[in-house]
Structure 1
Amino acid sequence: MERNQSGVSGFTIKHKANGSIKRLKARLVAKGFTQSYGIDYRETFAPVAKLNTIQVLFYLAANQDWPLHQLDVKNAFLNGNLEEEVYMEIPSELETSFNNNRVCKLKKSLYGLKKSPRAWFDRFAKSVTKQGYTQCQADHTLFVKFSSEKKIAVLIVYVDDIILTGDYEEELLGMKKHLAKEFEIKDLGYLRYFLGMEVVRSKKGIFFSQRKYVLDLLKETGMLGCKPADTPMDSTKKIGTEKNSAPVDKGRYQRLIGRLIYLSHTRPDIGFLLVL
């Protein structure tokens, strides 16, 4: 049995693909950082879709002219089933007549709990495989189903974002209906925005852009409005020649390199610069 966990209300701003504000969001979150391994939880690992898998899926969709459907699971972590008994103190923001002398027993997982990501993914994977899909062993977030006519339906999930594709159109529609019965689903139609990437499809193929991501990066580094360059790097620049330069903020530098590496997935022209 778990010890009592504390809860707190969280407030966030959701943005559209172009960076404008979409809506304001409030969420009840458990203080999972107070949990202790072996006492309050055990297994916590939950797989996340590999970017290489997502890219290959996009390449196949472009090559085979498959549609790319996108679904979003609302409050995904609230769907997970808890194996342990979990109790939580009532947050002070929720005014009740018994705040001080009672606690809540959680029936489902809650955002903030160490076990929530795993509980949600286990529930989702079981729901999908019950429909005849096979879970890929190289990437557990990828599920595939074939018809007797060798048509294929492919599903990949990244936490609560789902992509459906393939030429097995009846199954794609059937899976949408199945998921809508199991969870609270928002059908976003054809893929437009995924993992910080804007997606535009035409007869020539699929175009990816990270415009908002780049603008946020420029703003963070104080370079918003800077002059453009013809190449990612000055070919005459000699690295490490300044002897009296100020020390570099190691954490900030590593964070910047990490963000640029992610950007290189849609801008491979900067890849060489990042390995210098």
Structure 2
Amino acid sequence: MQIFEQIAPLRTALTSHRRAGETIGLVPTMGYLHAGHMALVKRAKAECDRVVVSIFVNPTQFGPNEDFAAYPRDRDRDLAMLSAEGVDGVFAPTVEAMYPRPGATTVSVEPLGDILIGKVRPGHFQGVATVVSKLFHIVQPDRAYFGEKDFQQLAVIRRMVADLDMPVTIVGVPTVREADGLAMSSRNVRLDPGSRAAASVLARALGAGERQVASGERDPDAVVAAMREIISGEPRAELRSLDLCDAETLDAVERIGERPVVLLVTAAFGGVLLIDARTVAPPTQPSATGAASAA
């Protein structure tokens, strides 16, 4: 496994693979890896000839009062996990390598990046889109892999790639969860025992919302209210946002129809911000014509 801290050597190494006709998969991460990241790596290895994992805690996606300095880091542990998984290359640049001077160019995906979590974390998705765009230009992958837990992030990146005609296929990978349903996240390690136990309320709320939609509930307000009631019953949970949206566009849904919807939740536990999401396909309803024919 090769480790690169600078852009030019990585590009040189990947050029030879590309000339040999090998496909390249990229797994962008901020490090402090867990089983969820390894699921992305496994998927990339199954579908690509070469796999590069980036490890970079991107300062531009953190707000002034957010946890950039406190974000967990353990490079040696990360590298050991990736080596054991058979990753070909790791791109672990410094901030100076990625941002050698103040940037005059940013990538903003509007309004997709300004709604939902974008309201809670202004400027966050601009930072995400900009750094992912840079990674795509540096690595030039054929496929890039992202977890579905960060559902809005996945939607923003897909829209950026489509709008800017970037030659990369975006692959969403299902969320990996702890035994109690909590979505795996690098931030989970910062939860104290009480907050960690309380955080499982997010999975319970999402499960309740999923069951309501799957059973035929068509009123999004009723689904959100049921989820909100569950979360409000946990005193350690500081709910920041809770939404039911169209799974493709992230538009607000006035009435649940036949299109899949996504349930999105953001909450803080002991000052640690967690997000989670779950997509649900509503049950199909027979048409009036079909019902009449059956009768």
TM-score normalized by the length of structure 2: 0.26
Normalized per residue, the structure richer in strand is 1
Structure with max Cα Rg: 1
TM-score normalized by the length of structure 1: 0.27
Normalized per residue, the structure richer in helix is 2
